[in-house]
C-alpha cells in the first residue's frame, strides 16, 4: 500500500549568486596554493635548496620574491573583486584572470621534477581555474 504523507519534508535549496561562487572558488584556489607550497617543503632537500638561494634553477632574489608576492596577490584580490564589481566588469575580469592563471599553471607544470603530489595539486588547481572560467563565461543573463 502506497501512502503519501502530507507532512513530507523536502530539503530547502536556493540558488547561489554567481559572485559568491566566484569568490569562493578564488578562496579555494588560494588555500590550495598555500597547502601545495607547504607540502612541498616536506620534499627531501627542498628546504636546503631554498636556504641556498636557488631552487629548480631559479635564483631566489628580492625581484623573484616580489614577483611571487604579486602573483599570489592576484587571486587574493579576486576574492574581494568578485563580490564587489558590477556584473559586466566582474565577468570579464574573472575570464581574463582565470585564463591567464590557467595558462601560467600549464606552463609551470613542465618546470621542475615530476611528482604525483604536484600533478594531483596541479590538476585540482586547473579544475578550480576552469570552474572560474565556466561560471564567469556562463554568467546568468536577465531580460532588459
Distances (CA, A) of 45 to 57, 77, 85: 14, 33, 44
Please tell me which residue, 114 or 76, carries the higher pLDDT value: 76
The predicted pLDDT at position 8 comes to 76
- Residue (of 67, 76, 90, 64) closest to 34 by Cα position: 76
Rg (CA), the chain: 21
Could you give the CA distance from residue 77 to residue 27 in angstroms, rounded to a whole number? 10
Query: Which tens digits make up the pLDDT trace of 121-135?
Result: 989 999 999 999 999
* Lowest-confidence pick of 1-5, 49-53, 114-118: 1-5
Could you give the CA distance from residue 94 to residue 102 in angstroms, rounded to a whole number? 12
- Residue (of 90, 93, 125) closest to 20 by Cα position: 90
Does the pLDDT value for residue 112 go beyond 80? no
Query: Which tens digits make up the pLDDT trace of 42-74?
Result: 988 888 988 888 887 888 899 989 998 998 899
Domain parsing of the chain, residue ranges = 29-41+75-137
For the chain, what is the mean pLDDT?
A: 89
Phi first, then psi, for residue 14 (nearest 5°) are: -135, 155
For residues 123, 126, 130, 132, the Cα torsion angle rounded to the nearest 10 degrees is: 120
Amino acid at each position: 500500500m502506497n501512502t503519501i504523507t502530507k507532512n513530507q519534508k523536502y530539503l530547502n535549496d536556493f540558488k547561489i549568486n554567481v559572485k559568491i561562487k566566484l569568490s569562493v572558488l578564488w578562496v579555494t584556489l588560494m588555500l590550495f596554493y598555500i597547502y601545495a607550497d607547504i607540502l612541498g617543503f616536506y620534499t627531501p632537500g627542498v628546504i636546503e635548496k631554498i636556504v641556498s638561494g636557488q631552487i629548480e634553477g631559479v635564483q631566489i632574489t628580492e625581484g623573484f620574491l616580489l614577483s611571487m608576492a604579486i602573483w599570489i596577490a592576484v587571486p587574493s584580490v579576486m576574492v574581494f573583486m568578485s563580490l564587489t564589481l558590477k556584473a559586466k566588469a566582474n565577468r570579464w575580469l574573472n575570464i581574463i584572470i582565470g585564463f591567464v592563471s590557467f595558462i601560467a599553471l600549464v606552463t609551470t607544470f613542465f618546470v621542475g621534477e615530476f611528482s604525483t603530489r604536484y600533478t594531483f595539486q596541479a590538476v585540482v588547481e586547473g579544475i578550480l581555474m576552469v570552474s572560474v572560467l565556466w561560471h564567469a563565461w556562463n554568467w546568468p543573463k536577465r531580460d532588459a
